[in-house]
Amino acid sequence: MMEPMAKERTEPRFLAIGRIVAPFGIRGEVKVEIHTGWPHRFALLERVYVGDEMARVVRETKVQSVRLHKGHALLKLEMCPDRNAAEELRGQWLFVSREEAMPLEEDEYYIHEILNLEVWEGERYLGRIVEVIETPEEVNDVYVVRGEHGELLVPAIRDVVLKVDLEAGRMYVSLPPGLEEATGSRR
């Protein structure tokens, strides 16, 4: 079997922290589905960037107020003077610049750093991470690995993920017995 060719990794300019799901009230607040491990980071925001999911086109706006409410963030943005303006942002994403990202602990990674990593079990190439399935905090995330034999669902836990080498673009794993058969991979 041929060894895969390394892909060049690029750092994104912006990191998603939430998605606007609806207007809230009549004064232009937006209700935001939180997509960050640090929900309280919203209280620190002075500005955010609003745009499509891939951050191809973003607009900067000042954050006038923030409050957390029932698992969501409610933001008053300078660009939303009323409910109609807030409605126009439904489905848009909120981003911070890469420089404003929260620092990570050791052995923590941003999703963009994990995507496209090669996954190896010893000398056996399993495939590339094509998706990260995010789960509630009390449950581990799952990496979707696609290789020549199909997809494999790899739990993001210390017993399985042995090492992440961002410089080499690789993740080393030790799969528990039966995992490949249980997730439908045809190896």
Check whether residue 72 and residue 117 sit in a common domain: no
Residue 7 carries which DSSP code?
P
149 falls within a domain: yes
Whether pLDDT at 187 is above 60? no
- Tell me the residue range of the domain where 27 lies: 14-99
What is residue 182's predicted lDDT score, i.e. its pLDDT?
63
How many Cβ atoms are within 10 Å of 24's Cβ, its own excluded? 21
Task: Work out how many domains the chain is built from and give that number.
Answer: 2
Residues forming beta bridges with residue 118, ordered by sequence position: 128, 170
Q: DSSP for 80-139, please give it.
A: -SSHHHHHHTTT-EEEEEGGGSPPPPTT---HHHHTT-EEEETTEEEEEEEEEE---TTS
Check whether residue 18 and residue 92 sit in a common domain: yes
3-class SS of residue 165: strand
What is residue 93's predicted lDDT score, i.e. its pLDDT?
94
Check whether residue 95 and residue 115 sit in a common domain: no
How many Cβ atoms are within 10 Å of 150's Cβ, its own excluded? 14
4 falls within a domain: no
What is residue 59's predicted lDDT score, i.e. its pLDDT?
95
82 falls within a domain: yes
161 falls within a domain: yes
The better pLDDT of the pair 65, 4 is held by 65
One-letter amino acid of 30: V
The better pLDDT of the pair 175, 56 is held by 175
What is residue 3's predicted lDDT score, i.e. its pLDDT?
55
pLDDT tens track for 133-142: 877 666 788 9
d(CA 119, CA 130): 11
Q: How confident is the model at residue 152 (pLDDT cuts 50, 70, 90)?
A: very high
pLDDT tens track for 61-100: 999 999 999 989 999 999 999 999 999 999 999 999 878 8
Token readout for 66 is 């923030």
d(CA 43, CA 66): 6
pLDDT tens track for 8-61: 556 678 888 999 999 999 999 999 999 887 788 898 899 999 999 887 889 999
Token readout for 164 is 């992440």
Average pLDDT (167-180) is 90
pLDDT tens track for 94-124: 999 878 877 777 878 888 889 999 999 999 9
Whether pLDDT at 183 is above 70? no
3-class SS of residue 43: helix
Q: Are strands 170-173 and 118-121 parallel, antiparallel or unpaired?
A: parallel
Check whether residue 44 and residue 92 sit in a common domain: yes
5 falls within a domain: no
Contact 25, 76 (CB under 8 A): no
Length of the chain equals: 187
